[in-house]
Amino acid sequence: MIAESLAGKRIAITGSTGFVGTALVERLLRSVPDCELVLLVRDGRRTPAPQRVERELLKNDAFDRLREQHAAPDSTETFKQMTARRITTVAGDVSSDGLGLSDDDRLTWSTANLIIHSAASVSFDSPLDRAVEINLLGPTRIAALCQELGVTPHLVAVSTCYVAGNRRGNAPEELVSAGPFDIGLSWKAEVAAARRLQGDTEALSRLPERLVQFRKDARAELGAAGAPALAGKTEQLRERWVKDQLVEAGRARAASVGWPDAYAYTKALGEQALTDTKGNVPVSIVRPSIIESAWAEPKPGWIRGFRMAEPVIISYARGLLKEFPGVPEGTVDVIPVDIVVAALIGVAAAGPDKAPAITQVASGGVNPLKYRAMIDYISGWFTEHPLYDPEGQPILVPEWNFPGRGKVEGQLTRARNMLSRTEKTLQALPLRGRQAEFTATLDSRRTEIESALQYVELYGLYTECEAIYQVDNLIGLWDTLDAHDQAEFNFDPRVVDWEHYITQVHLPSIVQHARVKTTPGKSRSADRMVRLRTQVLDPKRHVVAFDLENTLISSNVVESYSFLATRRLNGPERARYVIRTLAEAPALLKMDKRDRTDFLRHFYRRYEDAPIEQIEEDATAMMHQLIMTKSFPEGLRRVRQHRALGHRTILITGALEFAVAGLKPLFDEIVAAEMSVRPDGTYSGEMKTVPPTGEARAQILSDYCDAEGFRLDECVAYADSSSDLPLFEAVGFPVAVNPETRLAAIARKRGWLVENWSRANGAPKPLLPIGKMMVERERRRVFS
C-alpha cells in the first residue's frame, strides 16, 4: 500500500519547480494525504524561495484539481492552509556544496526520511560547467550532506535512460560501468577538466581583441545608444560568448566519449559519482526516457514549459521545418510525465531495501512508438487542425521524407545564411518605418530558423539513438502492487494508446500552450498594437516624452540651419551655399554617426554672430514653411491627444531652442539645445549645456519626474532611433516611431508599440531645404 507506507514521512524534494517536480509535488499532496514535503528551492534574483514556491509552483494549473477539492463545501481546510501545513521551503542550490543551506534549514533538511532528487539542468544545450555542477555533482552533494548531518534517508535520484549513450540494441537497468561498453572515464577528472575549461574560456573572453569585437558587435546592434547602454550590451555579448563556447565544449566532449549531449554525459557520470560517494546512504536511481505531457494525472495533456519535442512539432506545424531527420522504423521513446511520477513514488514507497537500484521508466521495450507512426499522427492531426499564418491563411504541413540529419541541417543553414546576409544588407541601408519593419520580420524569421536548426541538431541525435530501454525492474515493481495501488499510481507504460495520446492528448495541449494562431482571420498583432496604444493613451500615464526629428517631423538640424542660412541669400549665393554644404555632407554624416553631441556642438558653431532678432523672425517663417510641411499630422495629433488626457507632454530634442519655439503650444515643456547670447544681441555659437541627446534624455526625463513627483514607469516615450534606447528603457511605455532597422528589430523583440507616421500626402516636397526666395527689399533688411 503506497499511500500507507509513505504516510507520516517527511519527503525532501529538489527541482520541485521543474516539470517532473511540479507533477510530483502535486501527486504527493493529493494521493499521499499524510506526508509532509520539504522543498529545496533556489532564491530567485528578486523573489526569495518561499515566494517562488507560491508563484511558480502552487499557481500552476497542475494544482487546479487539488484546489477544487479544497474549495468543495465538505473540505475541512483550504488549499492555502493545507499547503502551509504540509510544505516547508528551504532556500538552497544543488550546485553549491552543502546545498547552500542555512543552519536552520540544515536542521529541517536532516529531518527528511526520504529525498527525491529531481533537480537537473535538463536543457539539452546547457553549458558544460553548469551541467557538471548540477547534473554530475548535484547528487553527490546531497549524499555528502546526509553524511555530514549523520542521517541516512532513502535517496531517490532521477536520471535518464540516455545515460546508456549512443548505442543500438537493448539497454538494461544497470550502471554504465557495469555494462560492456564502458570506457572507464573518471568522473573526478571530468569535473576538474570542465572547471578548468570554464576558467580558461572566461579568460579568453577578456582578451583585448575579443573585447574590441564585442564592443563593435554591440554598436552594430544598438547604434549610437550611448556609453552605458553600449557597455551593458558589450558585457552581455561577452557572457553569451562564454556560454556558447561552453555549450559547444559540452557537446564536443559528450560526443567524443559516446553520449548524444552534455546532459546525458553528465547524468551518466553523475550516477557513477553518486554510487562512488554515497557511503551508507541508500540510493535508488530512476531513469525516465523523454518525458512528455500527462496521460491522465492531474489531467490529460498537462505539461509545464516547452520541452523537447514540442518546439520541433510546432516548427513543423508552422511550416518552418520542412523535414526532420529520423529513421521511419526507429523507436521514439516517449513517456508521459504522470507515469514517471507514479514510478518515482512507487520506488520511494518500496523503500531502500525492496526498491531496485536502478529503475528505467520507458516505453520502447514494452510499448514502442514507431517514428513513422508518430509522424503520421502528427501530420494527420495538423492537416485537420492547421495553424494559421499572420494573414489568416492555413499553413499546409509538409510531407515528411525521413531524410538524414545532414540534409536537413544543410537546408536550414543555407536559409539562415541567406537571411542574415539579406538582413545585413538591409541594415546598412537608411530604412525607416514599414521597410525597416520588414527587416525586423526577417530578423525574427532568422531567429526562428536558428532555433529550428538547434532543435534539429540536438534532438536529431535522440531520434538516431536506437537503444531499446529495458524496463524489467519497473514491471517487476508494478507486479508487486495491489489493484488499488495500480489504479491510483499507474506507472505501467503498456497502458498508453499512442494514437489516442498524440492526437487527443498531447497535440491539443501543446498547441494551446504554444499560443499559435489556430483560427483563420487577421493577425492578432494588429490587435496587439491596438491594445498597446490603449495602454499608452490611458489617463493613468503621467508624462509623455517626444523626440522631434523623424518622430514628429521628417527634418533635422542641418535642414533648419540651411533654411535659416539661405533665407536672405540671393540666387548665386544660394547656389554657392548648396554646393558647399553638399561637399561637407559626408564628413558631417560621419561625425553624426560617431557621436551626436559632438556633431551638434560642431555644427551649431555656424550660428556664431547670427543676430537674434533676425533669427527669431526667420524661425517663425521656418515653422510654417519648413517644419509644418515636414510634420507628421498623426504625430502632432497624438501629442494633443495626450494633453487632452491630462498627461504632461515634454519635447526633448537636440535642435536649437529658437528653431522649435513655434511648437510651444503643443508641449508643457520643451527641452532643447540652448545657445548663449552675446551682449551685442548676436548668438555666440556655443552651447550653454550639453545638448539633450542619447542617454542624457533618459536622465532629463528622470530628473523631471523626480522634481514633479511623477513615476518613470508611468511615462511614455516616443522616439525613432536606437540612440534613444536609454530613454526607452527608462520609461514604462516606449513607442518606436518610424523605427530604423535596428530599433525595429529591438521593438519587435521587446513587444513595444510601433507607430508608422508619415508626412501628409501631397505636402510640398522641396528639393532642397532652403528658404523661399524673398522679395529683394525684405531680403536686404538689416538687423543690428
Partner 1 sequence: MPRPGFVLEVDKSTPPILFWRGEGFSLERLPADRSRVIYPAEPLAGLDDVDGHIRNALLNPVDMDPLPALLKPDMKLTICFDDASLSLPKMRKPDTRQRIIEAVLDLAAAAGVDDIHLIAALGLHRRMHEYELRHVLGDRIFDAFHPRGMLYQHDAEDYDNLTVIGETDHGEVLEINKRVAESDLVVYANVNQVAMDGGWKSITTGVASYRCLSYHHNPVTLQNTRSLMDRHNSDLHKSVWRLGKVLEDHGPKIFTVETTINTDAFPSPFDFLSKREWEWNAKDRAIYLATQKSLNRTPNRLARKIFHGIESPYATTSVQAGFTPSVHEITLKHVYDQHIVPVEGQTDILTMGIPFISPYNPEGIMNPILVMCMGLGYLFNMYRNKPLVREGGVVIMTHPTYREFNPVHHPSYIDFYDEVLADTTDPVVMSEKWEKKYAEDEWYRHLYRTGNAYHGVHPFYAWYWGAHGQQWAGKVIIVGGDPTAVRRLGFTPASTLDDAFEIASDVVGRSPTISHLHVPGVLVADVV
| Residue placing its CB nearer to partner 1 in the complex, 500 or 637 | 637
| Residue placing its CB nearer to partner 1 in the complex, 265 or 667 | 667
Which residues have CB under 8 Å from 760's CB, separation 6+? 631, 633
User: Considering the complex, what minimum distance in angstroms separates the CB of residue 663 from partner 1?
Assistant: 9
d(CA 624, CA 626): 6
Three-state DSSP class for residue 335: strand
| Residue placing its CB nearer to partner 1 in the complex, 631 or 682 | 631
| Chain contacts with partner 1 (rule: CB under 8 A) | 620, 623-625, 628-629, 631, 633-634, 636-637, 640, 662, 664-666, 759-765, 775, 777-778
Whether residue 311 contacts residue 451, with contact meaning beta carbons closer than 8 Å, is answered with yes
User: Considering the complex, what minimum distance in angstroms separates the CB of residue 607 from partner 1?
Assistant: 23
Whether residue 360 contacts residue 473, with contact meaning beta carbons closer than 8 Å, is answered with yes
Residue 726's CB is within 10 A of a number of other CB atoms, namely 23
| Residue placing its CB nearer to partner 1 in the complex, 553 or 719 | 553
| Residue placing its CB nearer to partner 1 in the complex, 499 or 668 | 668
DSSP character at residue 72? S
User: Considering the complex, what minimum distance in angstroms separates the CB of residue 671 from partner 1?
Assistant: 19
Q: List Cα–Cα distances, 475 to 163, 294, 347, 360, 509, in angstroms.
A: 20, 20, 12, 10, 29
User: Considering the complex, what minimum distance in angstroms separates the CB of residue 61 from partner 1?
Assistant: 42
Which residues have CB under 8 Å from 296's CB, separation 6+? 336, 338, 490
d(CA 565, CA 618): 9
User: Considering the complex, what minimum distance in angstroms separates the CB of residue 762 from partner 1?
Assistant: 3
One DSSP character per residue, 185-239 reads --HHHHHHHHHHHHHHHHHHHTSHHHHHHHHHHHHHHH-S--HHHHHHHHHHHHH
User: Considering the complex, what minimum distance in angstroms separates the CB of residue 555 from partner 1?
Assistant: 12
d(CA 410, CA 600): 49
User: Considering the complex, what minimum distance in angstroms separates the CB of residue 537 from partner 1?
Assistant: 13
Residue 310 identity: E
Q: List Cα–Cα distances, 170 to 174, 175, 267, 470, 483, in angstroms.
A: 12, 14, 19, 7, 30
Nearest 10 degrees: Cα torsion 680, 686, 688, 691 = 140
User: Considering the complex, what minimum distance in angstroms separates the CB of residue 637 from partner 1?
Assistant: 5
| Residue placing its CB nearer to partner 1 in the complex, 572 or 762 | 762
d(CA 204, CA 198): 10
First to last CA, the chain: 104
| Residue placing its CB nearer to partner 1 in the complex, 79 or 783 | 783
User: Considering the complex, what minimum distance in angstroms separates the CB of residue 649 from partner 1?
Assistant: 11
| Residue placing its CB nearer to partner 1 in the complex, 323 or 559 | 559
| Residue placing its CB nearer to partner 1 in the complex, 8 or 764 | 764
Largest CA distance in the chain: 110
| Residue placing its CB nearer to partner 1 in the complex, 18 or 635 | 635
Taking alpha carbons only, the member of 221, 262, 213, 12 closest to residue 112 is 12
User: Considering the complex, what minimum distance in angstroms separates the CB of residue 568 from partner 1?
Assistant: 14
